[in-house]
């Protein structure tokens, strides 16, 4: 077994708000292996972006704080690094595509100046070499006429092209890890698939590991090696992507699968959104956080919170009832 590239251990990130303490990430542990594609999936507000921002050292403090845990990258605990050391890693070793592409691109700077920024900061390349690399990056992400694009501004590109530029920027220094937070959500479905294919291609070519964050479990089927399903700040199921589709164990995973179109479902299969809403993170229900929405909950589920435990197949599930759930599904 190779050493993981990223190892998140018992991470807890909280926000102090007027409404109370928000436990956005609550005891989350997972590993990303070098070169693999790992997907973090869950509904809106479940803590996916806060997990990503914690890894990047970008939690605004106050109101946020990482109160415990470890984030090891190449064996180094990122939480112990200085601001300067973390800036060095950000953009060079770990690239990130943020959830809001328009707000991440600067409207008054040319594509060239935005694409070369990280190279200017993190490498000793000459001006010419940096500009050549920018053209190469635009080519790499499949935008025609790369040289002309250099002088253009973000508003002169389509939404899909801007997203491609974001990928090019994040990949400019060939990072070991690329974090893509809902990188395709704003795009139409065909373009979403193209952008995901592109991310998969460019990361595979350079051996970069990819952490895909999405609310759509249906979409990651083709792309991820492993999937972690997050609910109310906690991981509820972690396993091989294929297994997550063929043998989902947690009732929340099953709910997520039924609520999105699947590539393998028969035409006309009705979608079934999960009833109810995610709980208020300042005031979680006692017991399992999913119990108020769960069709399989028994008394114990309203009293105790199940831990993430390994099943005989090597998958991890946090559910007291997952064996009977699995039987009910088949």
Ligand X SMILES: Nc1ncnc2c1ncn2[C@@H]1O[C@H](COP(=O)(O)OP(=O)(O)OP(=O)(O)O)[C@@H](O)[C@H]1O
Interface characters, 43-82, with ligand X (x: CB under 6 A): -xxxxxxx---------x--xx------------------
Q: How many CB atoms lie within 10 A of CB 178?
A: 24
89 interface partner picked from Mg ion, ligand X, none, CB below 5 to 8 A per type: none
57-83 as b/e, with b when 16 or more CB fall inside 10 Å?
Answer: bebeeeebebeebebbbeeeebbebee
The H or E element spanning position 31 is strand 20-32
Q: In the numeric block, which tokens belong to residue 130?
A: 């940096």
Task: Compute the distance between CA of residue 252 and CA of residue 238 in angstroms, rounded to an integer.
Answer: 12
Question: With CB under 6 A as the contact rule, which of the stretches 16-24, 140-148, 187-195, 259-267 interacts with ligand X?
Answer: 16-24
Q: Return the HEC string of 139-185.
A: HHCCCCCHHHHCCCCHHHCCHHHHHHHHHHHHHCCCCCEEEEECCCC
Residue found under tokens 């002088």: 151
Q: In the numeric block, which tokens belong to residue 233?
A: 């700040």
Q: Which of 41/138 has CB closer to ligand X? A: 41
Q: How many residues belong to the site for ligand X (CB under 6 A)?
A: 19
Q: Which of 185/265 has CB closer to ligand X? A: 185
- Smallest gap from residue 235 Cβ to Mg ion (A): 16
Q: How many residues belong to the site for Mg ion (CB under 5 A)?
A: 1
Q: Which of residues 176-195 bind ligand X (CB under 6 A)?
A: 182
Contact status: 161 vs Mg ion (CB under 5 A): no
Contact status: 49 vs Mg ion (CB under 5 A): yes
Contact status: 54 vs Mg ion (CB under 5 A): no
Positions in the binding site for ligand X (CB under 6 A): 15, 17, 22, 24, 42, 44-50, 60, 63-64, 99, 182, 215, 281
């Amino acid at each position: 077994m190779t050493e993981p590239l990223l190892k998140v251990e018992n991470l807890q990130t909280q926000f102090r708000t007027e409404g109370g303490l928000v436990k956005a990430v609550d005891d989350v542990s997972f590993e990303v292996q070098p070169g693999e594609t790992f997907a973090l999936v869950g509904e809106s507000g479940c803590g996916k972006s806060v997990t990503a921002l914690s890894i990047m050292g970008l939690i605004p403090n106050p109101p946020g704080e990482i109160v415990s845990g470890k984030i090891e990258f190449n064996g180094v605990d990122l939480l112990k690094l200085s601001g300067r050391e973390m800036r060095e890693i950000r953009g060079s070793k770990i690239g990130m595509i943020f959830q809001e592409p328009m707000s991440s691109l600067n409207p008054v700077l040319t594509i060239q100046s935005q694409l070369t920024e990280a190279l200017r900061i993190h490498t000793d390349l000459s001006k010419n070499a940096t500009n050549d690399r920018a053209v190469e990056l635009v080519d790499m992400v499949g935008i025609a006429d790369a040289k002309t694009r250099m002088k253009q501004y973000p508003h002169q590109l389509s939404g899909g092209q801007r997203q491609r530029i974001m990928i090019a920027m994040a990949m400019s220094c060939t990072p070991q890890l690329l974090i893509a937070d809902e990188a395709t959500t704003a795009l139409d479905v065909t373009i979403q698939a193209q952008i995901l294919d592109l991310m998969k291609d460019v990361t595979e070519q350079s051996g970069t590991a990819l952490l895909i964050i999405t609310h759509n479990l249906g979409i990651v089927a083709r792309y991820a090696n492993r999937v972690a399903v997050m609910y109310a700040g906690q991981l509820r199921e972690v396993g091989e992507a294929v297994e997550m589709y063929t043998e989902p164990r947690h009732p929340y995973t099953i709910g997520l699968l039924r609520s999105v179109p699947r590539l393998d479902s028969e035409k006309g299969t009705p979608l079934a959104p999960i009833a109810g809403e995610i709980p208020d993170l300042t005031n979680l229900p006692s017991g399992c956080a999913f119990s108020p929405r769960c069709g399989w909950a028994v008394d114990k589920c309203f009293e105790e919170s199940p831990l993430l435990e390994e099943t005989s197949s090597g998958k991890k599930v946090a559910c007291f009832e997952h064996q009977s759930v699995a039987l009910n599904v088949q």
